[in-house]
Amino acid sequence: MLIRRLRYWMKSAGRSEALREEMELHLAEKAAELQTDGMTPECARAEARRRFGNVGLKHEESREIWIKRFWSELGQDVRYGCRTMIANKAFSTLAVLLLALGIGANTAIYSLMESILLRSLPVADPESLVVLNWHSRPPQNANKQWVHVVHGLQGIFWPGDKSTLVSGIFPYRAFETLREDNPAFSTLFGYFNGQTKTLAIRGQATSVGAEYVTGDYFRGLGVSPAAGRLISSEDDRPGATPVAVISFATSQNRFGGPPNAIGQPILIDNVPFTVIGVAPPEFFGVDPEAAPDLYLPLHTNVLVDGAGTARLYSDENFYWIEMMGRLRPGVSMAQAQAALAPRFHQWVATTASTDGERANLPALTLNPGAAGLGSLRRRYSKPLYVLLAMVVLILAIVCANIANLLLARAAARRREMAVRLSLGAGRFRLVRQLLTESVMLASLGGALGALFAIWGVRSLTFLLSHGQENFTLHSELNWNVLGVTAALSVVCGLLFGVAPAIQSTRPDVMPALKNGRGGGPRRRAQHVLVVAQIAISFLLLVAAGLFVRTLDKLHSVQLGYARENILLFSLNARQAGHRAPEITTFYANLRKRFESIPGVRSATLSQSSIINAARVGQAIRGTMKIGAVILDGARVMSAGPRFLTTMQIPILTGREIDDRDQPGSPPVAVISERLARTYFGNENPVGRRITLPDEKRDLEIVGVSGNVRYGGLKNEEENAMTVFVAVNQFPPDRVTYALRTAGDPLRYVNSVHEIVREADSRIPVTDVITQAAEIDRTISREVTFAKLCTGFAVLALLIACVGLYGTMSYNVARQIGEIGIRMALGAQRGAVVWMVLRRVLLLAGMGLAISVPAALIGSRLVKSFLFETQPNDPGTLALASVVLLSAAILAGYAPARRASRIDPLAALRHE
């Protein structure tokens, strides 16, 4: 019966075809019969058709019989489901809420994944875009010497397969070489991150992100302007009139709309440009991570970044420009790579000057460019997969829990089902109706979950971006995401509905009709589900434990400098037109004025904050030597007066850098303790010299400081050595000020703005942040993981405990008679409590037995997220087990107590 009906539904397409064949045969036979009666073949065929009636219509009618039936039954089921749901309000509400949490969390994480990992660039035909990369072995040989055709670079490397190095930056000549009659690309365009620039419009200066683009950039991407025109090849030549394209948002914020911006004069780092166009609102360049406010023709970097940059165009060993190409129609990426890789190889071989360089030449590779550059993907794909795994586990717990609730309810509905079965209802029909009910529950949960996800996406984006400036994750719910949510809901509904549905429609009608009580298999199913929930919660508990422990370890890291009560902000006076030597006095005077703010204990400046030191270039050129020995692995930090005092880095001997160190006076250095110990042993280094062959200067060591840890908390640079030099003697373009304040540092932000405005209103104050926040930003991922995972674990444990409680309560209710007899025969209350708790512990123990090995294996997957914590950390495992068992006992205690309060007389009478 069941099988036959299933077969019908599966064969619905084939059936329609069979019907047509049957009808054809019928007509043929009829015609043949008429022919034997003496008709001509044509007449016979026509007559047969006439007698049959409208073939198409009859075919439709026959098909409709099936379809109509399906829909009418579905309608019945939905109506019946609504009634059942309303009749069981408490159950339905609980189930829908649980599902909303589970599905909502999944939707939120998925929509983040969709926006980061899957979504295409909002440009024409993104599928035909390819990104050009190269890879080679690491540039340093075994002796740590740099042997590579890349002599200088501006951009990033990232690790590839088999310990290779991958990068997307090329010399300009490589771009020109590949662009010349390219057989694979219809366009090849380049771009170069211009970092932050000072954009002044009618005297109002702000700091904005800029992207230098070649003339074919917009044409290659196939973008049309929101107003005006976009940069073309004419604009990207040396000596062309400086023009700029601005982003849609900038046009709105600064000009009040795209049309108003066209033709307006603007100053970019004090260089006059004219706005010629506005990019469309959805366009954010080629890197989903950064949304530039300004697009400038590549060659204008000579105007903006100084005449020195002109050499970038001719230097074949300086790597800086990134490239994307659009494949010609019909050319595959593999074909393009086969055509271009030899050409690049040929070119790059001519740039190698030694055999060592020739032995490790970069090799060109093409990568899909549809989703833009991969920096965001590289950074977030693994964390997102981990988060996805967690929320999928939560959803699994939710499904198990609801399946359990449904099983319990199936017991209550067993009589109803038995009656319907005995009245002749098909079992498949009943299962279908029960499944319709569970899918309805899941759909409601999914709808509510989508609402929950809107909130979830916002808070997740906030957590992930944690203080990062211009974090541009464009994630929102879209049809793709909602489609996945809907599919997920249906799958969940089927998943948690199918076991209870099959259980409760078991055809052994008679015993159910007689006493209405369930038998053994259902209890077994319930127990399996409870064990599964416990096992999954344990996994999440272990994950939470590991991440919290990691965070704990990170918080206890010794940085070597003060964390609290320090305000950081950056200024770039060079971009407003200040030049050496005036710029040095300008910065020095500002420092004195900041120090005079009431409540500021000390103020200093440096080339960057300590956290960002790794991202800013060294303050000096070339190597450092002490005598004949090369100083290796030391970081040079250009710092102003009172830097050590402000940062509370201890001064061990000598003095720190102060106002005596002026541009004209002998250059000085303060070295860190580790450096002193490494290169001077037990000697006193004060008075010794560090020589700078490339700078043709010597540094006199005037003091020794405590050790400082760079680059935040989890960086491995704990062995870093430091050379502090005077900011006046090695002046950077951009400086970061640090103010040590009394009380909340952010209270002083307004005074800072005022002072800078008075000094030069063209200079924007950027990167305003407290030291504590900047340090925390380096561990934002760990904080996010610890918070989310703890939240997930608590949620999972709570749901599992509700499941356990429900199951135990149900068991106790079923055993009232048995317990009553035991108590009547003299069982103590304690023994009854133990009887119930023993089962709770047994279930929890089984969950643990399954889950501990799984946790040991699974935690290795998150090893890269841990800090000084082993994946199989025994303390964490023990703690998680204790928490789990306590929660289980807590959940089981209420039913156990209820069991022990059973009045034997009442129980026996009830039986």
Partner 1 sequence: MGRKAQKNDSLPGSLDMLILRTLSLRDLHGYGIVQSIQQSSDNELLVEEGSLYPALQRLELNGWIEGVWGVTSNNRRARIYKITAAGRKQLAVETRKYAKLTLAIARVMGAE
Instruction: Give contact residues for partner 1 (rule: CB under 8 A).
Output: 1, 4-5, 8, 18-19, 21-23, 25-26, 28-30, 51-55, 57-59, 61-63, 65-66, 69
For residue 324, what is the enclosing H or E element? strand 321-327
Closest distance between partner 1 and the C-beta of residue 79, in Å? 22
| Beta strands in 126-258, from DSSP E residues, in sequence order | 129-136, 152-153, 157-159, 165-167, 169-170, 185-201, 204-213, 227-228, 243-246
Residue 840 and residue 846: Cα distance in Å, rounded?
10
Closest distance between partner 1 and the C-beta of residue 509, in Å? 18
Q: Which is nearer to partner 1, 106 or 505 (CB)?
A: 505
Q: Which is nearer to partner 1, 57 or 628 (CB)?
A: 57
Q: Which is nearer to partner 1, 21 or 683 (CB)?
A: 21
Q: Are 907 and 820 in contact (CB under 8 A)?
A: yes
* Beta strand pairing call for 566-572 and 129-136: unpaired
Q: Which is nearer to partner 1, 25 or 118 (CB)?
A: 25
Closest distance between partner 1 and the C-beta of residue 62, in Å? 4
Closest distance between partner 1 and the C-beta of residue 26, in Å? 5
Comparing C-alpha atoms, which of 775, 104, 99, 118 is closest to residue 459? 104
Residue 622 and residue 694: Cα distance in Å, rounded?
5
Q: Which is nearer to partner 1, 69 or 83 (CB)?
A: 69
Q: Which is nearer to partner 1, 155 or 426 (CB)?
A: 426
Closest distance between partner 1 and the C-beta of residue 21, in Å? 8
Q: Are 524 and 839 in contact (CB under 8 A)?
A: no
Residue 181 and residue 499: Cα distance in Å, rounded?
65
For 271-283, b/e burial (b = at least 16 CB within 10 A) is bebebbbbbbeeb
Q: DSSP assignment, residue 121?
A: P
Closest distance between partner 1 and the C-beta of residue 510, in Å? 22
Q: Are 496 and 435 in contact (CB under 8 A)?
A: no
Comparing C-alpha atoms, which of 157, 140, 188, 176 is closest to residue 315? 176
Q: Which is nearer to partner 1, 47 or 695 (CB)?
A: 47
- Paired tokens of 399: 């499904």
Q: Which is nearer to partner 1, 54 or 354 (CB)?
A: 54
- Paired tokens of 314: 């001719």
Q: Which is nearer to partner 1, 53 or 598 (CB)?
A: 53
374, amino acid identity: G
Closest distance between partner 1 and the C-beta of residue 416, in Å? 24
Q: Are 892 and 834 in contact (CB under 8 A)?
A: no
Closest distance between partner 1 and the C-beta of residue 64, in Å? 8
User: 39: buried, middle or exposed (CB in 10 Å: 19+, 13-18, 0-12)?
Assistant: middle
Residue 429 and residue 641: Cα distance in Å, rounded?
84
Closest distance between partner 1 and the C-beta of residue 418, in Å? 21
Residue 796 and residue 774: Cα distance in Å, rounded?
33
Q: Which is nearer to partner 1, 63 or 753 (CB)?
A: 63
Closest distance between partner 1 and the C-beta of residue 68, in Å? 10
Q: Which is nearer to partner 1, 428 or 471 (CB)?
A: 428
Taking each helix axis from N to C end, the angle separating 41-52 and 55-87, rounded to the nearest 10 degrees, works out to 20
- Paired tokens of 195: 């970092």
Give backbone dihedrals phi and psi of 766, rounded to 5 degrees, phi first.
Answer: -120, 165
SS3 783: helix
Closest distance between partner 1 and the C-beta of residue 863, in Å? 58
Closest distance between partner 1 and the C-beta of residue 51, in Å? 6
Comparing C-alpha atoms, which of 293, 296, 272, 274 is closest to residue 218? 296
For residue 749, what is the enclosing H or E element? helix 749-759
Closest distance between partner 1 and the C-beta of residue 78, in Å? 21
Residue 426 and residue 434: Cα distance in Å, rounded?
13
Q: Which is nearer to partner 1, 40 or 480 (CB)?
A: 40
Q: Which is nearer to partner 1, 68 or 555 (CB)?
A: 68
Comparing C-alpha atoms, which of 755, 735, 761 is closest to residue 571? 735
Q: Which is nearer to partner 1, 52 or 80 (CB)?
A: 52
Closest distance between partner 1 and the C-beta of residue 502, in Å? 21
Q: Are 119 and 154 in contact (CB under 8 A)?
A: no
Residue 664 and residue 509: Cα distance in Å, rounded?
103
SS3 645: helix
